[in-house]
Structure 1
Amino acid sequence: MRLSRHRRLLLATALTAVAAMTLSGTPALAEPPAPAPPRTSVQPGHEENLGQTMPDKILSQDQSQGVDAAGNPQVYWVTAGNDETTAMFQATDVRTGRIVFAERLPRGVNSWANTFSPAEGAVYFATTEGFFYTWTPGDQSVTAIPFPYPGEGIWRLAAAPDGIIYGGTYPGGRLFAYDPATARFTDHGQIIPGETYGRALAIDDDHVYFGTQPRAKLARFDRATGEVLQMPLPAKYANEEAVYDMTLAGGYLLARVQKVNDLLVFDTATAQLVHVVPAIDGRAISGLDPTGPYVYYRRVSQGIVQLNLETFEETPLGWRPNAIPGTWAWIDMRSPDFPGLSLSMTFYNGRVYVYNLQTKRNRYISEAGLQGAPTPLQALGVDRAGTVYSGGFLTPPGISAYNPDTKAFRLLNGGGQVEGFGQFGDDLVYGRYPGGTLYRYDPARAWSMGTNPGEPVTIGQEQDRPQALVQVGDRVVVGSVPISGRLGGALSVWKPDTGEITVRRDIVANQSVVSLAARGDLVVGGTSINGGFGIDPVASQAELFVYDVTTGTVRGSRVVVPGAQSINGLRFDDEGVLWGIADGTLFAAEVDPATGTIDVLRAENLFGLARTMYGQDRALAFRDGMIYATYGGRLWSVNPVTWKARVLAGSGAEHLVAGVDGSLYYTRGFTLYRWVFDPVAAPPACTETITGGHRGPLQVSRGVTCVIGGQVSGPVTVRPGAGLVLDGARVDGPVTATGASHLSTFDTEVRGPLSVSASTGPVRVDSSTVRGPVTLTANRGGEVTVTATTVGGPLACTANTTAPGNAGVANTVSGPRTGQCAAL
């Protein structure tokens, strides 16, 4: 986007929105500015629904296994939903593979809490939004249980041997108990001070073992007395993220610590650590083998491994299911191929694996019968060739690639949860959660995970979400958010050709780096005051900073919008002006390449206020002299001359990118959309331009008069054959045009009626306010549009050769709408 000197002057002299943002050292413009060529309107366009980008996914973050009244083994899933579809409870019969029950839940989207109570023969499950349910095999529907702790989500459930159900919550980190016999809840409070997630539970007759996140801590709760015993982990685990999974077996508590994935073995009689199994692969550890002192878990390199709890020796079984264990159970398959009890394992995408230790036979039950939901989209990118990529929440299935030429989607399997996309030459680069990994993909070659893209580069230093990626020469600069429970994101410089990476954490103390823009060797970054989930921010205001990639130094930083919690959508225009969004405020700034000084030219709250933790749903794009943005679930256009904004599309629009084909691409839920610009005639050349004030009436008798950002103190009359453009103007009186060659108003206020008749060229009334009636009569030059305009009286249209339209954007009319404009 090019910004003329005239528009730069408008930016530099219009600092009225934020008093604290005064300029320091802004260079003066000595010569008179040349007027900008006019825009007759926002180019009209329309929205296209391109469709669901990925197939429905089966994702049950937690599962449980149990039996029905006849003893048939079953698996219980709560498959995730999205903003438009709730989660779904489903039950699989393991022997037959059939789905024996399925019901869409009345409320709730995601579930990490699912347990079967053998004492009652019932399943209990809950959502992270705080909705609690139960179902007994044979019931015709699930039963909702009112949850008495508003503001708390339920993140883990476990059943005690006597049938009491215990749960862990976020953000309170509390332990609660539910007694099915009395339908009463008991709040046991925050078990470990300062820990916000109750992430892992294991229960016996006497105790509840409670593991936390965002710091890996462990406590034992006495069920009879309520006493809490803290069980310190060795010092080497002080910086680990969570005690994530726990199992009681053979007099031991087995607790997996994430992210190191060591399995800690505690003696339950003494509550002392007695053994450490290094670096298993999550998640779950089985209960005790009924035939001996064994438990089972997974190692990627070995498959399923047996651990002897008497000797702590490990033995690979030779069974290598391509799955991460979610739950384990010992079940009777009633089959000669599976004599006695077999080991049943679930996987979060709806699969079940069964293995018999005697016969070494195994069975696989696919997810084919389960119902999923579309994947919510959370990142959008584009490569140099124009392919548009979308990444979804907690995927597989992968990354979606949309080809605008063929209008076809292609699924790139195994892409994972993408936090941000970028470009490196003709290649696509992206950052993935969890683990803070970076990938490079060559779109000219076939997608093959592990080859193209190749092995990832890990940022490290507790970074989890690489959200912003921008190319600077042979490097990609990456901004990231840390793991849960940590403050301090990072700015990383990655060389994709060599894999080398340099990480600088806390480039702005205790803040994450969530947006980047590059110009030359300078990178400007925007921060969020938030760290990972589960920790409160200590900073109060997001900052812009300037980083010199060549020297590896921070050249300067400042708060650009006081009180803003996140700065996003950073983009340099063609003249080097930096644009961005700080919460609901659009700002423009200049960055001095010699000193790194940031001078704010103008900042105005155009979009209201809709905060998210990292603001990745906010973006900016430039096209034909206009600014486009997504913010607060809407697609906006902004006139950089008048700083007026209007909504093009709403209802959840997010994640904007400019396509190579000239369209704007954005998402809504799980669907990709495109804003297509309709062709329009080129604006006329101005023979006279008014940029300041004009006293008294204005008569336009020949040529084209353009009033750009100026004010006419009187009526305006356009004679036959003459043209008028009002761009960001104000007219203190009526506007009357008869036989005009062209007439357009854009972001203009007319303090009186507007009447246009017998025009021989286009008539466009766009994003304006007319404080009186609008009359359009017998115009015969083609296009006639009234778009996003407020009319303080009737809107009457008759005998126009082409019926007036509104380019898909409604008007506000206080009087009757008649004739050809009855529907506008």
Structure 2
Amino acid sequence: MVPAQAARAESGASCAGPRVETFGPASVTGAIVGAAVHEGKAYVVTRGQKPPVLAEIDLATRKVIRSVRLPDGPATGEPEGGWATVVAGGKVYVGTYPVPDLYSFDPATGDVAHLASFGRNGGYIWALAAAPDGTLYAGTYPDGRVKEYVPATGAVRDFGVLATGERYVRAIAADAQNVYAGLLDKGKLVAINRATGAVKELAQGTTGIGVLAEHGDRVFAVSGPSLIDVRKDGTDARNVAIPPGSSLDALTVAADGTVYGTTRPDGAVHRYRTGDGALTKVADSPSREDETRRLALTGDDTLVGFSGSGGMWSLDLRTGRSEFTDLIEAGLPSGPERPQSMLLVPGRAVYVGGHFFMDVRDLRTGKQRRFRVPGEPKDLVQRGNKIYAAIYPSGTIISIDLRTDEVRSLGSLGHDQQRPWDIEYDPVTDKLLVASAPLGAKLEGALSIVDPDTGEIDVYKGVIPGQSLMSLSLDAGKGIVYLGGDVLGGGGVTPVKTAASVAAFDLRSRTVLWQVDPVATFRTFQDIKVHGGLLYGVYKRDSGAWIALDLATRTVKHQGTLSGYGELTTHRGRVFVSTFFGGGNAYELGTEATHLATGLGDDWYTNPQLHFEPGSWKAWAMSGRHLARIDLNPRCPLLTVTPQT
């Protein structure tokens, strides 16, 4: 028996009694993804709840009058939301994720039906459109296809590869003759002839195309900083600049051809007519710093918008007056979601980042509260009386006052860095350090150094050439931050490297000291952590592989395999990791991995995390989707947890 195993066998009084405490849902959500409007009613689909909720809202009273759950289909996996929503033939159709299934809801009868599966678990139906004859068209991931579904017969047709290597058909529209698809990776706008299946490229964007609409003889598509306005035959293409620092996240077209759109992050409403040289701002944001999931016109003068955080707003286009409704307050059933991040402020509170909200458990009173934040907090760090959060999809860094919950923006990283994965605080330089990746078909990530007082941001893009950054780990005493790479970048582009690198970056000279590829065939570091002269790393896509890299020799000293990937942490001179898969597990890493707990569940949205209380072996974590405090004393026997649903 090795010493670690012998020590664990000494399960004395400290291991007796309950070793798991649960405190209810860690992150409660009313977030939505899909939305549609039909005959005075709105239909929204939740994000993150299992099973998803389809809610019917009376637009006159702004109240939820009916809700149903989308049943689990026959494919492996469970639906957690529906980005794609459309009305055809009086029925509401929903395309779900992470199983790409198609459902219908009949408002006349209240019946919900599972209609078809368009792929395996892990896939998405990103968009749905209905042709005038009621035929449905779906844009899918990860195969990058357009699928046709005929409601009358159930017949399914696949239009095949639209662009080599494309994974996302992110936006879709249809008319009597064609289906129009926006490709996210390749940035192409294509038309597919419904009769022949022939594919024609209408426009090439500068970045991915994720929003589009059609009207008359024109198609409107959003590509990065531009609105593309092109005839349906591909001629007379116009590129109209979107206000600097913004992107359009939703479009709708009035009967007279006026295009209305909302910009992110300010949420402002704009209009455009073919021939205009620029967008015209109509009104300030009814829901600032939110994502607009859908826009619709009711009558000639009212614009209705649906916000991803779980809101609905209306704008009177004549007066500019707007009204916002929180959908939970309107009666939308809420439920636990997969958390994005967690932070323990010892003796004070546990903060859990969700989708556009932060849930807080006050450790002094046991009370829960929640407040809105402008996106998904991918990681959290404390500095004094403030928490700093790295926000997706804007790539913004925000501060949260521990005393007042006041949220302020320090600014966006820019430089295509919309996926900030990791953030740490350097007490020596009094700066925040952020590791990030691009969004879409780009490779190079960045290390950003942020002044929390002034908001000044220095961005070092391509600090590991040809790779994005998934993680960083600070050795404050030496003034070095270590960076963990990912050769796949934002995805959808051929990698130029074959192995994920580790780089050492000197914070004083702002230069890379060295770079090494620890394992030749492993492509993505999920997390890294420096401790005791070793750099511990967990790989994402390589069967739960972990390593301990000797920083003096830059060679792998220890390695092994875990149940999956997750986040590393150090506590009381030891290294721990919590992982996905195999039911959710926790380990201590040394010369080998020692299994400490199992059954935590696989319900994190990003990395599974552990947050230890100072001077204790108790760690805040998750049991299923519930906040939990678990005893991870390495001397105790393996802890088996029953996940809370």
TM-score by length of 2: 0.83
Q: Closer, same or farther in 2 for the Cα pair 1:464/1:659, shift >3 Å?
A: farther
- Aligned pairs for 1:328-477 within 5 A: 328-331=295-298, 342-355=302-315, 366-367=326-327, 368-383=330-345, 387-392=349-354, 395-396=355-356, 398-414=357-373, 416-424=375-383, 427-443=386-402, 445-450=403-408, 455-472=409-426, 473-474=428-429, 475-477=431-433
CA shift, 1:496, in A, is 2.6
Match of 2:286 in 1: 321
SS in 2 for 1:232: strand
- Once the two structures are superposed, residues 169-193 of structure 1 have per-residue CA deviations (whole angstroms, 9 ceiling, x without a partner) of 1111111211222221111112233
Which residue of 15, 18, 26 corresponds with 1:53? 26
CA shift, 1:547, in A, is 1.9
Distance (Å, rounded) in 1 between the aligned partners of 2:83 and 2:267:
27
Distance (Å, rounded) in 2 between the aligned partners of 1:313 and 1:493:
35
- Aligned pairs for 1:76-225 within 5 A: 76-82=43-49, 85-107=50-72, 108-117=79-88, 120-128=89-97, 129-147=99-117, 149-150=119-120, 152-225=123-196
8 A contact 1:527–1:544 mirrored in 2: yes
Matched, 1:646 2:617: no
- Aligned pairs for 1:537-552 within 5 A: 537=495, 539-552=497-510
Match of 1:560 in 2: 518
Distance (Å, rounded) in 2 between the aligned partners of 1:318 and 1:561:
54
Amino acid at match of 1:74: K
Of stretches 563-572 and 489-498 in structure 1, the one that deviates more from structure 2 is: 563-572
CA shift, 1:525, in A, is 2.3
CA shift, 1:344, in A, is 3.7
SS in 1 for 2:600: coil
8 A contact 1:570–1:620 mirrored in 2: no
SS in 2 for 1:604: strand
- Aligned pairs for 1:157-306 within 5 A: 157-233=128-204, 237-238=205-206, 240=207, 242-258=208-224, 260=225, 262-268=226-232, 271-274=235-238, 276=240, 278-279=242-243, 282-289=248-255, 292-298=256-262, 303-306=268-271
- Once the two structures are superposed, residues 116-150 of structure 1 have per-residue CA deviations (whole angstroms, 9 ceiling, x without a partner) of 12xx2222211132111112221232111122544
Match of 1:65 in 2: 37
CA shift, 1:49, in A, is 1.0
Distance (Å, rounded) in 2 between the aligned partners of 1:359 and 1:560:
62
CA shift, 1:440, in A, is 3.7
Q: Closer, same or farther in 2 for the Cα pair 1:143/1:507, shift >3 Å?
A: same
8 A contact 1:346–1:352 mirrored in 2: yes
8 A contact 1:64–1:327 mirrored in 2: yes
CA shift, 1:359, in A, is 7.7
- Once the two structures are superposed, residues 303-328 of structure 1 have per-residue CA deviations (whole angstroms, 9 ceiling, x without a partner) of 54443446668665558533654434
8 A contact 2:145–2:162 mirrored in 1: yes
8 A contact 1:628–1:635 mirrored in 2: no
Q: Closer, same or farther in 2 for the Cα pair 1:478/1:283, shift >3 Å?
A: closer
Distance (Å, rounded) in 1 between the aligned partners of 2:311 and 2:278:
29
Match of 1:622 in 2: 571
CA shift, 1:114, in A, is 0.8
- Once the two structures are superposed, residues 666-686 of structure 1 have per-residue CA deviations (whole angstroms, 9 ceiling, x without a partner) of 1244322112478xxxxxxxx
SS in 2 for 1:138: coil
CA shift, 1:457, in A, is 3.0
Of stretches 187-196 and 538-547 in structure 1, the one that deviates more from structure 2 is: 538-547
- Once the two structures are superposed, residues 460-514 of structure 1 have per-residue CA deviations (whole angstroms, 9 ceiling, x without a partner) of 2221222222333213332112212222222223333343333233333433322
Of stretches 642-651 and 358-367 in structure 1, the one that deviates more from structure 2 is: 358-367
Which residue of 41, 55, 59 corresponds with 1:74? 41
CA shift, 1:203, in A, is 1.6
Match of 1:500 in 2: 456
CA shift, 1:195, in A, is 2.2
Distance (Å, rounded) in 2 between the aligned partners of 1:307 and 1:638:
58
Q: Closer, same or farther in 2 for the Cα pair 1:347/1:390, shift >3 Å?
A: closer
Q: CA RMSD in A?
A: 3.5
Amino acid at match of 2:60: R
- Once the two structures are superposed, residues 21-59 of structure 1 have per-residue CA deviations (whole angstroms, 9 ceiling, x without a partner) of xxxxxxxxxxxxxxxx999569527121133233x3222
Which residue of 610, 615, 622 corresponds with 1:667? 622
Of stretches 40-49 and 665-674 in structure 1, the one that deviates more from structure 2 is: 40-49
Q: Closer, same or farther in 2 for the Cα pair 1:460/1:385, shift >3 Å?
A: farther
Matched, 1:515 2:458: no
Which residue of 577, 581, 587 corresponds with 2:538? 581
- Once the two structures are superposed, residues 568-587 of structure 1 have per-residue CA deviations (whole angstroms, 9 ceiling, x without a partner) of 553344x5444443463454
- Once the two structures are superposed, residues 227-261 of structure 1 have per-residue CA deviations (whole angstroms, 9 ceiling, x without a partner) of 2221233xxx42x2x22222223433222223x2x
SS in 2 for 1:488: coil
Q: Closer, same or farther in 2 for the Cα pair 1:166/1:563, shift >3 Å?
A: same
Q: Closer, same or farther in 2 for the Cα pair 1:620/1:634, shift >3 Å?
A: farther
Distance (Å, rounded) in 2 between the aligned partners of 1:651 and 1:516:
25
Match of 2:609 in 1: 655
Distance (Å, rounded) in 2 between the aligned partners of 1:250 and 1:322:
30
Amino acid at match of 2:24: G
Match of 2:75 in 1: none
CA shift, 1:426, in A, is 5.8
SS in 1 for 2:117: coil
8 A contact 2:163–2:186 mirrored in 1: no
SS in 2 for 1:126: strand
Distance (Å, rounded) in 2 between the aligned partners of 1:136 and 1:809:
44
Amino acid at match of 1:53: A
Distance (Å, rounded) in 2 between the aligned partners of 1:481 and 1:184:
40
- Aligned pairs for 1:812-823 within 5 A: none
- Once the two structures are superposed, residues 191-248 of structure 1 have per-residue CA deviations (whole angstroms, 9 ceiling, x without a partner) of 2333211111122222222111024211122223322221233xxx42x2x2222222
Distance (Å, rounded) in 1 between the aligned partners of 2:279 and 2:184:
28
8 A contact 1:385–1:660 mirrored in 2: no
- Once the two structures are superposed, residues 380-413 of structure 1 have per-residue CA deviations (whole angstroms, 9 ceiling, x without a partner) of 2334776432212xx22x2233343443444243
The answer for unaligned runs of 5 or more in structure 2 is 73-78, 603-607
Amino acid at match of 2:621: Y
Distance (Å, rounded) in 2 between the aligned partners of 1:546 and 1:314:
45
Amino acid at match of 1:144: H
- Once the two structures are superposed, residues 764-815 of structure 1 have per-residue CA deviations (whole angstroms, 9 ceiling, x without a partner) of xx77xxxxxxxxxxxxxxxxxxx45xxxxxxxxxxxxxxxxxxx669xxxxx
Is the radius of gyration larger for structure 1 or structure 2?
1
8 A contact 2:249–2:263 mirrored in 1: no
The answer for unaligned runs of 5 or more in structure 1 is 1-6, 12-36, 68-72, 333-339, 679-745, 747-765, 768-786, 789-807, 811-824
Count of equivalent residues: 606
Higher strand share: 2
Amino acid at match of 1:433: Y
Q: Closer, same or farther in 2 for the Cα pair 1:636/1:343, shift >3 Å?
A: closer
SS in 1 for 2:251: coil
Q: Percent identity?
A: 24
8 A contact 1:530–1:537 mirrored in 2: yes
Distance (Å, rounded) in 1 between the aligned partners of 2:163 and 2:236:
18
